[in-house]
């Protein structure tokens, strides 16, 4: 199966895809008000699966660190709500994966999906299923982190995903999309000046041929014929 097929099968949207297909370019689009959900495992700024997840302490909105820091430096607001925000307002999250690479609860070992109630402990950043926290912390009145035994209070529980309340995942309401806020990557913009920038994703055979051409190519010598008039 080719690379393009995998791209079609992915479960998340890129910013470009959102803008082109859902971003309201067609003012008469009757579906603009439809709910379009961002998966819990994606950054709310880039829409890509996160690698270094951080979330807002109150709403539990997740961003990838590499995306949110430049955005905050430029705009100083929460990309989703538009409220003022600084980097210190974010909480580092510790998601856990099983042997197949799926996010899961480190206590119950159940895999997270779009219907899982997911929470995190603010002081430790550890992420659990609400089921585990409810049974082993809340009902047992045992206020210690289930992994490292660090004490915490109920107020420190952050809701990452609640299947009964999904508005924070609604792409239509994201402030940075409505206001078209972007952070320009200076290195990326500089790279675009290279005529071969858009050939970065060619297959190995084409890349090899291009490299060989670079190594052997010689510009044609311009011949100027001078006619001596006697």
- Asked, for residue 199, whether it belongs to a domain, the answer is no
**Which of 140, 166, 164 lies closest to 154, judged by CA?**
140
Which range among 17-21, 142-146, 175-179 shows the weakest confidence by mean pLDDT?
17-21
pLDDT digits (tens, 9 = 90+) for 122-132: 999 999 999 99
What is the average pLDDT value for the chain, to the nearest integer?
A: 84
**Which of 6-20, 52-66, 193-207 is predicted least confidently?**
6-20
Q: How far apart are CA 37 and CA 160, in angstroms?
A: 14
Structural domain includes residue 29: no
- Is 35 within the bounds of a domain? no
CATH number at residue 111: 3.30.40.10
Give domain status of residue 13, yes or no.
no
Domain-embedded: residue 37: no
Q: Assess if residue 107 is contained within a domain.
A: yes
Strand partners for 91: 55
Query: What's the pLDDT tens digit per position in 104-118?
Result: 999 999 999 999 999
Average pLDDT over residues 141-157: 98
Is residue 33 situated within a structural domain?
no
Give the count of domains, the chain: 1
Q: Any idea which of 10-19, 84-93, 139-148 has the lowest mean pLDDT?
A: 10-19
pTM of the model: 0.69
Asked if 88 contacts 69 with a C-beta cutoff of 8 angstroms, the reply is: no
Q: What whole-number distance in Å separates Cα of residue 79 and Cα of residue 171?
A: 11
Structural domain boundaries, residue 114 = 53-179
Position with higher pLDDT, 74 vs 4: 74
Cα 201 from Cα 103, distance rounded (Å) = 29
Give the tens place of pLDDT for each residue, 21-44. Answer: 555 444 445 444 578 899 999 999
Residue 110 lies in a domain: yes
């Amino acid at each position: 199966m080719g690379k393009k097929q995998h791209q079609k099968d992915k479960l998340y949207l890129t910013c470009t895809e959102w803008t082109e297909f859902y971003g309201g370019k067609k003012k008469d689009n009757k579906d603009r008000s439809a709910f379009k959900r961002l998966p819990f495992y994606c950054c709310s700024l880039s829409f890509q699966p996160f690698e270094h997840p951080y979330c807002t302490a109150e709403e539990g909105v997740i961003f990838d660190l590499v995306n949110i820091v430049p955005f905050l430096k430029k705009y100083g607001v929460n990309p989703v709500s538009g409220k003022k925000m600084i980097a210190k307002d974010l909480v580092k999250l510790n998601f856990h994966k099983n042997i197949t690479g799926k996010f899961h609860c480190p206590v119950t070992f159940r895999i997270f999906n779009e219907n899982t109630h997911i929470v995190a402990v603010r002081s430790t950043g550890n992420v659990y299923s609400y089921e585990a926290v409810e049974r082993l912390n809340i009902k047992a009145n045992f206020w210690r982190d289930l992994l490292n035994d660090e004490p915490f209070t109920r107020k420190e529980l952050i809701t990452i995903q609640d299947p009964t309340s999904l508005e924070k995942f609604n792409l239509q309401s994201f402030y940075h999309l409505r206001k078209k806020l972007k952070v320009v990557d200076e290195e990326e913009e500089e790279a675009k000046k290279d005529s071969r920038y858009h050939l970065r994703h060619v297959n190995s055979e084409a890349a090899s041929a291009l490299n060989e051409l670079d190594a052997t190519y010689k510009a044609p010598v311009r011949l100027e014929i001078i006619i001596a008039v006697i």
